Structures are given as structure tokens and as C-alpha cells.
Structure 1
Amino acid sequence: MKTTVLCCFTLLATPLFAHAIDAGPASPQQQETEGWLQLQSRNKAASTTPQTSTATERELSMQRWLKSYEHEIPRFFDQDEGGKVDSGSGG
């Protein structure tokens, strides 16, 4: 019985906690970030200059993409292969 009452109380109190999360930005940095994200999602700060690439840039991009298929994807990753990571001992 106590468990049931406790579970019901918790479920009833959940919207109160969710409201605290949506209360708004907590710091000026977060407010600035929220502002930029809203500009981006609403397309309010888009450039009027279209971004284009030259034929050479497109060709080089395509060659780079095609070259990425030359390497076989390993079936698994062996942690002992590929060298070692420097532990930062200042050597």
C-alpha cells in the first residue's frame, strides 16, 4: 500500500520537476546560445550570398569521397594494434 501511494505521489509530482527544467536559460551564456539556436532554426540570419563551389572543388571532393571506399572496414577493432597513446609523462 505504501509503495502504491509513493508511486502515485511521484507521478503526480513529475510535472513540477519538468516545469523547473523549462523555466528558461540559467546564465547569460545559455541565453546567448539559445538566441543563436533560435536564429538558426528559424532561418532568420541566413546569408543572402549563395555558397557555390567550382567544378574543380566538386571534382576533388568527389575523388576524396570515392577514395574513402578503398579501405576495407575491419570486422572488429583490435585494441592492441595501431600503436600506443602517450600517457603525457612529459617525455
Structure 2
Amino acid sequence: MKKTTLCGLALLTLPLGAFAIDAGPASPQQQETEGWLQLQSRNTVASPKLQTATATERELSMQRWLKSYLHEIPKFFDQDEGGKVDSGSGE
């Protein structure tokens, strides 16, 4: 009975963790990021100038996109392939 009660209480406290996440930004950098994301999602500061691409720009973009399909996707990535990562420890 005691175990069931403790499990029930534990399950009831799980949603409280979500409130901690929504409490607000923890740092000035996060506040700045949140602000930019809100402006973007609300579309309140969109440029009044319509931005278009020329036919040449569209064609070059399409060619670049199509060219990306020429590279085969490997079945797996070898950890030793492509060099080493410097840990910065100076060893």
C-alpha cells in the first residue's frame, strides 16, 4: 500500500517539472533568443520589401540541390575516417 501511494505521489509531481521549464529564460542570451523567435513566429517585423530571386539565381539553386543527390549516402560512418578531433588539452 505504501509503495502504491509513493508511486502515485511521484506521478502527480511529474507535471510540476514542466512548469520549471516555462518559468522563463535563465540567461540574457536565452532572453534574446526567445525574443527573436517570438518576432519570427508572429511575423510582426517582416520586411515591407518583397524579396525575390532572379531566374538565374533560381536555376543555380536548383542545380546545386540536384547535384547534392549525386553523392551516395554511406551505410555507416567510420569513426576513424576524416582525421582526428583535437581535444585542446595540448597533449
Same fold (TM over 0.5): yes
Note the alpha carbon deviations across 1:32-72, whole angstroms, 9 max, x for none. Answer: 22221111111011111111111111111122222222223
Cα gap change, 1:68 to 1:7, in 2 (>3 Å):
same
In structure 1, distance between residues paired with 2:40 and 2:58: 26
Identity of aligned residues (%): 75
Amino acid across the alignment from 1:84: G
What TM-score, normalized to structure 1? 0.72
For the aligned residue pairs, the C-alpha RMSD in angstroms reads 2.5
Amino acid across the alignment from 2:3: T
What TM-score, normalized to structure 2? 0.72
Cα gap change, 1:77 to 1:19, in 2 (>3 Å):
closer
Aligned pairs (5 A) from 1:29-68: 29-68=29-68
Runs (5+) with no aligned partner, structure 2 = none
Runs (5+) with no aligned partner, structure 1 = none
Structure 1 stretches of 4+ with a deviation exceeding 6 A read none
1:86 shift after superposition: 5.5
Larger radius of gyration: 1
Aligned pairs (5 A) from 1:12-91: 12-80=12-80, 82-85=81-84, 87=86
